[in-house]
Structure 1
């Protein structure tokens, strides 16, 4: 019997993966090795997980070449089963070398105890249903101490959202064989709110104005309506950036929040938050430059920018100027123009000189136009509204007009239902995707009443009346507009239909047709007349055209 040797080459529990240079001899892969068998050995086997479920995630297959580098993928796949909690405490992968350049791959798993139950005691502010949703308790089938710590962390975060920042959590794990139960006892304490927000060092800006731009706000009687008084450490960090940004819109280009102090009163258990600001000096705008080219001169570019010499510097105006320059260059086909602002402050004169350098790149032409998200609307209905064609110079103005025309169809979400995405292929070509989000275009209305008509004082109806109407502004996704109405009573009935094609024969031509029938019996209103019936039949055909290209 031949001698077999085992090499342990990966051990993962709480781990970091580092990859050596493939040229390093210690990481050379013997591509001649063939996998003989993949052997799975399970310690503390969990009944919720089958061998087949594990092996289906193993990238090694019998009869294929053996590659040690796939082991990291194997470990990753197994730990991600039932993420984020998972089933495994430890996973070992071993290589057994055989004769004839063959290997056996041994996978040894140490699995977590099966979870019998999780009991949470003392939760009054959070209902059991809220806890189930936050913790995903129904997804946990195996558990260990690391998972319990994860649950506690999520619990603290959930309570903090309810302004309980001082909760005490005591977990207990009861093991019985390879099963475990968890009891978590919670002492909620009292709610803690932000009672005061103060600022230090703000000589030029009122605290009242600064409070308007931050998330962290003082508690008040109606604070529950706008979450005023809620304390969130992440929001406090964001507030520092918002304060600095606000100062930069007022000319203080060097303003910094140098410190943030969060103090909890030991008696009331309420928070005071203090931001310390170093304002610096207020700067005005000195020279403004925006170099152009033969197509657009610098003079024309500057006329379209909000930045003006002698004005107080504003980061908001700078951002708007950059966007306007991009739009201007986009009109001429430079849709990937990059604007680099160069700011040179002069501390003695308290001015800042600004140069907006335009890196235009190449003009870009349309390779393909892809329409994405139109489940109902046909492509041709949308494409006839797009004013840029494949092979054309791609300009921001053509994209904006096309977006407006498609949006005016009324078939898509008015907020985020029509958007362009540019996918650059090479220096001078790009595919453009029109991303759509459709809305419902059809309507149905049904009504029952007794006698008369709200719209026709001459109606003969005196008894029970049933009426309804149906409409669709995008019939079968073809762009046709359909309206239909029908009503019935013992004395009167009517039917009317209207069909319109706003782009007849794919042209800017509206063709509309209407047909209606009404029959009424007035015998009940006329004495000595046994039957008096009136029938009206009518219709029309009309045509017209749009005078604006944006329609």
Structure 2
């Protein structure tokens, strides 16, 4: 066969195409990139995305079309995509000139379920996981889950749960989601079996261990959990121990070591503490250097740190605070005092050089108030004595905080001085309050041998609509008395703080319900108007008038004294009176809810004028005095006195007599049972003279140290009521002792007391258990 030149060339071309066709086919298929390469990318395709937008990937890989791409460029893109944490796998392929990015997204968290937790609330644990990065809709990361497991375990270990086991499970859900399950087995608590302090020679180990919040098992451990080991609490107890020694002059006291060991079953903890007490040091020379703004005499006079005294760290801190507060009174908000100590071991004294840096004088730019969701800003601002755009005044700020606290509207009041970075001579004052419930329903319950159960109730609304006005509608529907009283008080009727109060009331009293009082009923109706004028930051005077009409309904066997009193007013024994009143109140308490220091004094004088059918005068005086015995213990005393006498030739109204007895008066005795007795039936008539003094020692409930909302107290009450013809005498005085519980609970204030008379008279009615409740709404 003959071939032409053209045919031969065609034959060679066909065979060459056959030979290279696999190679051509190969580069048009998706090829994973290996080794070194360089290619011009004409297109980029992203595969495998479900939730993430392709645009997000394009912005991350930083590869443009028509750009030459090599291995280094692709490796950087893969690294960037992995670092986002969005992807479980990243692969890059080349299909011709098209760059293909194949991704496998990490699943998102569809749900998180925690079971088995008793020590912590599930909401608190979920919040902790959220801070780590584990929460619903977030991309699931197994490393974070392992981190979360360890963090949760550490929390349980810090609570003494050494047998805790935490296991997590991952269950797939639809749409590339997973359900995370965390199962917690808390195990038995590690309880403190023994605490030993070695090296303590000057103090008994028992006394030192009483300082600790963590203790070995006692009869209250089931409630306080004080024998449950906690690493953080142990560190706090060691600081308390250190402070105890420093406050007694042991300046070189040191804790050499602490050892915590577990029993084999990890349920018992043994704690050993080794200390070196050192020697007692006295205060040597005290030298204050720096700019004292001419206040050196005041500062030296008020320093608690005195030469020759045994050193006390408390006195040192008080002295530093005196310096800082005094300079703060002149606008130096950030004045600081730094002590430098020089020990003299041979004389066991320590000299102090206190360096004072007054800093810049500043003025207040703004006063910001927060936390008052219901109370209006103006109600708080009108109590503030620090002015905006005025020099900073620490004393005015302290007074402002005290006045806001005494309103009684807030659980807590915090004042902070906030520096302004852009201006060294300006500060902002932040006042943060936590509001109390604004209304209350009150109830009282008592038990006695004569009355069995006595129940009273009432309703009132304070800080009405957050305006600072007090609107009260008191309703008392007990068997003994019925009271319907409406009162409206605007404490800032004028901008200067003059208050105005309207009162209207009707009261009925059925003495027949109390066996010791006799058979009679009193029905009183009245209305009044009062004004209050402040004349210092702590004092206010009151004046006003009221009209009152009173009917006495005598039963079949009323007290003889009532029969005699009613003779001039027969046949219906009704009287009316127009009363002028003058009063004074001084309040220096640090807190209107649970005072720890300060006094509250009230004095009042009522004069029933000749314009009415009875003319008399009635004086009352009360003082409440609070003093801290220690950081957590408060002593309180309350003196109540009263005196009434007739004028204009009339008798003193018997329904205005003073009474004593009951939880609000002389505890341990029945309500209104103390007073002059009727000569015929022995019923209580009250009296025209009253002296009652109540003493309480309030201590925190074990396990709630520092919480002043719930405290137990021991009390001693003494006093009596004397009639018009009786002289004040010790013979008439009654006295009781007892214990009780005071609690500002979530449902309102609760008071429970158990009392026993230590001095009583024949015929007195004893009320051993007394209970009072106030429910908030």
**Shorter-normalised TM range:** 0.5 to 0.7
- Aligned residue for 2:403, secondary structure, equals helix
1:129 positional shift: 11
1:207-286 matched pairs, under 5 angstroms: 207-266=205-264, 270-286=268-284
Of 521, 525, 548, which aligns to 2:536?
548
1:268 positional shift: 9.3
1:511 aligns with 2:500: yes
**Structure 2: 5+ residue runs without aligned partners?**
1-31, 34-42, 65-77, 445-455, 509-522, 540-777
1:273 positional shift: 1.4
Q: Deviations over 1:449-482 (max 9, x none)?
A: xxxxxxxxxxxxxxxxxx9976433223333222
CA distance in 1, matches of 2:524, 2:196: 77
Equivalent in the alignment of 2:473: 484
Whether the 8 Å CA contact 2:87–2:103 is kept in 1: the answer is no
- Against the structure 1 CA distance between its residues 343 and 111, is the aligned structure 2 distance closer, same or farther, given a 3 Å change threshold? same
Equivalent in the alignment of 2:314: 316
1:324 positional shift: 1.9
- Against the structure 1 CA distance between its residues 93 and 441, is the aligned structure 2 distance closer, same or farther, given a 3 Å change threshold? farther
TM-score (norm 1): 0.64
1:95-494 matched pairs, under 5 angstroms: 108=103, 111=106, 136=126, 144=142, 147=145, 150-151=148-149, 154=152, 157-158=155-156, 161=159, 164-166=161-163, 169=165, 188=187, 192-266=190-264, 270-291=268-289, 293=291, 295-413=293-411, 416-424=412-420, 426-443=423-440, 471-484=460-473
Going by fraction, where is strand more abundant, 1 or 2?
A: 2
1:424 positional shift: 3.5
CA distance in 1, matches of 2:390, 2:114: 66
- Against the structure 1 CA distance between its residues 412 and 134, is the aligned structure 2 distance closer, same or farther, given a 3 Å change threshold? closer
CA distance in 1, matches of 2:357, 2:80: 42
Whether the 8 Å CA contact 2:291–2:356 is kept in 1: the answer is no
CA distance in 2, matches of 1:256, 1:483: 59
Q: Deviations over 1:315-357 (max 9, x none)?
A: 2221222122211111222221011111111222221111111
Whether the 8 Å CA contact 2:60–2:81 is kept in 1: the answer is no
Whether the 8 Å CA contact 2:61–2:81 is kept in 1: the answer is no
1:290 positional shift: 2.2
- Structure exhibiting the larger radius of gyration computed from Cα positions: 2
- Against the structure 1 CA distance between its residues 92 and 338, is the aligned structure 2 distance closer, same or farther, given a 3 Å change threshold? farther
Equivalent in the alignment of 2:549: none
Aligned length: 451
Whether the 8 Å CA contact 1:256–1:278 is kept in 2: the answer is yes
- Against the structure 1 CA distance between its residues 107 and 481, is the aligned structure 2 distance closer, same or farther, given a 3 Å change threshold? farther
- Against the structure 1 CA distance between its residues 270 and 367, is the aligned structure 2 distance closer, same or farther, given a 3 Å change threshold? closer
CA distance in 2, matches of 1:39, 1:203: 77
CA distance in 1, matches of 2:154, 2:396: 52
CA distance in 2, matches of 1:174, 1:495: 65
CA distance in 1, matches of 2:240, 2:419: 33
CA distance in 2, matches of 1:225, 1:540: 50
1:385 positional shift: 2.0
CA distance in 1, matches of 2:252, 2:146: 46
Whether the 8 Å CA contact 2:293–2:327 is kept in 1: the answer is no
1:398 positional shift: 0.6
- Aligned residue for 2:435, secondary structure, equals coil
- Against the structure 1 CA distance between its residues 382 and 131, is the aligned structure 2 distance closer, same or farther, given a 3 Å change threshold? closer
Whether the 8 Å CA contact 1:291–1:297 is kept in 2: the answer is no
Q: Deviations over 1:25-83 (max 9, x none)?
A: xxxxxxxxxxx9996855xxxxxxx615x8999996999x9xxxxx999999x66xxxx
- Aligned residue for 2:289, secondary structure, equals coil
TM-score (norm 2): 0.47
- Against the structure 1 CA distance between its residues 60 and 512, is the aligned structure 2 distance closer, same or farther, given a 3 Å change threshold? farther
CA distance in 2, matches of 1:292, 1:278: 36
Equivalent in the alignment of 1:17: none
CA distance in 2, matches of 1:347, 1:508: 59
CA RMSD across the alignment: 5.6
- Against the structure 1 CA distance between its residues 187 and 222, is the aligned structure 2 distance closer, same or farther, given a 3 Å change threshold? closer
CA distance in 2, matches of 1:313, 1:389: 40
- Against the structure 1 CA distance between its residues 109 and 289, is the aligned structure 2 distance closer, same or farther, given a 3 Å change threshold? farther
- Aligned residue for 1:381, secondary structure, equals helix
- Against the structure 1 CA distance between its residues 109 and 485, is the aligned structure 2 distance closer, same or farther, given a 3 Å change threshold? same
- Aligned residue for 2:326, secondary structure, equals helix
Moved more, 152-161 or 427-436: 152-161
CA distance in 2, matches of 1:243, 1:495: 56
Q: Deviations over 1:85-117 (max 9, x none)?
A: xxx6858799x9xx9xxxx99795652698999
Whether the 8 Å CA contact 2:364–2:390 is kept in 1: the answer is yes
- Against the structure 1 CA distance between its residues 89 and 129, is the aligned structure 2 distance closer, same or farther, given a 3 Å change threshold? farther
- Against the structure 1 CA distance between its residues 432 and 197, is the aligned structure 2 distance closer, same or farther, given a 3 Å change threshold? same
Whether the 8 Å CA contact 2:383–2:400 is kept in 1: the answer is yes
